[in-house]
């Protein structure tokens, strides 16, 4: 039953991605509205699966290995749907939905929820750490998606191509607003998540900081996003500069964490 529900979510994310792309091809926002309903349905079923997974494994166990992509995919979609209620960014789903689909494909390695949960992955501070950091990273992913579409729209306008698929893209103002709010919210959640992680580390290993490769990568990511937040709030970075920066920062974040997983031994490897 769980496997069937997982496949349903996967196919719904794929379907919404294809319908969003079709909306760009036929240049109709109404088609994108249909894709949004499909995406919302996928998020609903996905949320139910997440509840089952967390009830079995806890937040720590649910985020072990590829489980982080399972949670992250749902969080990105939910945040996007919430933004869509306040901004005219419906077609942004053409980027968000494929991202969620790809994340779910990666998560397919460990969605059964049957693995034993190590004792180290139990505790409220770990739950706070996982929940807050994943929400922060999901905000950063959404900022990246908005940044990519901002660049697409900006290039079309500079070429004076106001017709075609570029005409159905969200306005530059709405995309920059999503980027701005996502960047600041993501930084707040990431900061709180890292603080909760340091408390958990003290409880488990006896030290807040161990110079573990993943801790170092997280610190680098935090510094990068702290710089971007400072530049946006203190120096008024916006528009294309902010869009490119959010994309580069997200690529750096994913590359840093992937590099740690593939190239280094880390105390964060639990299974």
**What pLDDT was estimated at residue 265?**
62
* Whole-angstrom distance, CA of residue 128 vs CA of residue 60: 9
Assigned token pair, 194? 């890292």
* Whole-angstrom distance, CA of residue 51 vs CA of residue 95: 26
**What pLDDT was estimated at residue 271?**
43
Residue-level length of the chain: 271
Cβ atoms within 10 Å, residue 217: 22
Scored b (16 or more CB within 10 A) or e, 201-212 reads beeeeeeeeeeb
Assigned token pair, 229? 């937040």
* Whole-angstrom distance, CA of residue 210 vs CA of residue 54: 28
Taking the alpha carbons of 134, 249, 140, 209 in that order, is the dihedral positive or negative? Answer: positive
* Whole-angstrom distance, CA of residue 207 vs CA of residue 80: 37
**What pLDDT was estimated at residue 257?**
76
pLDDT mean by block of 10 residues, the chain; 271 residues: 82 94 85 92 92 76 71 93 86 92 82 52 73 92 94 82 67 92 95 88 71 82 94 86 93 82 60 43
pTM here?
A: 0.88
Q: How far is CA 190 from CA 96, 122, 151, in A?
A: 20, 20, 26
**What pLDDT was estimated at residue 229?**
94
Cβ atoms within 10 Å, residue 242: 23
**What pLDDT was estimated at residue 218?**
86
* Whole-angstrom distance, CA of residue 33 vs CA of residue 81: 12
Residues ≥6 apart with Cβ < 8 Å to 132:
189, 190, 192, 193, 196
* Whole-angstrom distance, CA of residue 74 vs CA of residue 170: 23
- Write out the H or E segment, with its range, that includes residue 145: helix 124-158
Contact 129, 204 (CB under 8 A): no
**What pLDDT was estimated at residue 142?**
95
Contact 146, 244 (CB under 8 A): no
**What pLDDT was estimated at residue 97?**
94
CA torsion angle 194 196 197 200 (round to 10): 160
Residues ≥6 apart with Cβ < 8 Å to 16:
35, 36, 38, 39, 42, 93, 97
């Amino acid at each position: 039953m769980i496997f069937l529900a997982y496949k349903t979510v996967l196919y719904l994310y794929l379907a919404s991605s294809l319908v969003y792309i079709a909306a760009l091809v036929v240049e109709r926002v109404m088609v994108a509205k249909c894709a949004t309903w499909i995406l919302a349905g996928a998020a609903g079923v996905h949320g139910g699966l997440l509840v089952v997974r967390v009830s079995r494994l806890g937040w720590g166990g649910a985020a072990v290995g590829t489980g982080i992509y399972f949670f992250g995919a749902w969080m990105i979609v939910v945040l996007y749907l919430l933004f869509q209620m306040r901004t005219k960014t419906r077609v942004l789903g053409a980027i968000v939905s494929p991202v969620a689909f790809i994340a779910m494909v990666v998560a397919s390695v460990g969605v059964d929820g049957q693995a034993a949960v190590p004792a180290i992955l139990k505790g409220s501070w770990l739950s706070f750490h996982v929940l807050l950091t994943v929400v922060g990273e999901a905000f950063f992913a959404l900022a990246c998606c908005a940044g990519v579409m901002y660049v697409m729209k900006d290039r079309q306008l500079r070429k004076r191509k106001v017709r075609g698929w570029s005409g159905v893209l969200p306005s530059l103002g709405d995309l920059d607003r999503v980027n701005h709010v996502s960047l600041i919210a993501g930084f707040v959640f990431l900061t709180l998540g890292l603080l909760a992680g340091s408390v958990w580390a003290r409880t488990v290993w006896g030290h807040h900081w161990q110079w573990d490769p993943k801790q170092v990568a997280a610190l680098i990511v935090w510094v990068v996003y702290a710089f971007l937040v400072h530049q946006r709030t203190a120096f008024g970075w916006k528009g294309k500069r902010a869009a490119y920066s959010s994309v580069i920062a997200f690529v750096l974040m994913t590359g840093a964490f992937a590099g740690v997983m593939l190239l280094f031994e880390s105390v964060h490897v639990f299974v």
